[in-house]
Amino acid sequence: MLPVVIAVAIGIAIFGSSIWVVRLLATPPAPEPDPDDVVDVAIDYRCTVCGMRLSVTQAQDAMHSAPRHCREEMVEA
């Protein structure tokens, strides 16, 4: 009786995994962004203490605070 229960459990697990894989493969990929809407966003920062320069590329329409260096916030260069 125990081998039958184990076989049924393994069969259900394989069936569930197969359904999950088929659904995953059937989902279409996200559409490509329109090249006219893509904007290059690069901000240059400079440390006021040591003078180190840093170029940051960030997502469009995202507001982030300035990075910190030498325990101070950097300023835009």
pLDDT of residue 58: 76
Tokens standing for 34?
A: 């329109």
pLDDT of residue 38: 75
The residue segments making up the domain with residue 40 are 2-76
- Could you read off the pLDDT of 25-73 as tens digits, one per residue? 999 988 987 888 777 778 899 999 999 999 988 777 777 788 899 998 9
Number of independent structural domains in the chain: 1
Q: Is the pTM of this model over 0.75?
A: no
Asked whether 48 and 75 are in contact (CB, 8 A), the reply is yes
- Using only C-alpha atoms, the chain has a radius of gyration, in whole angstroms, of 26
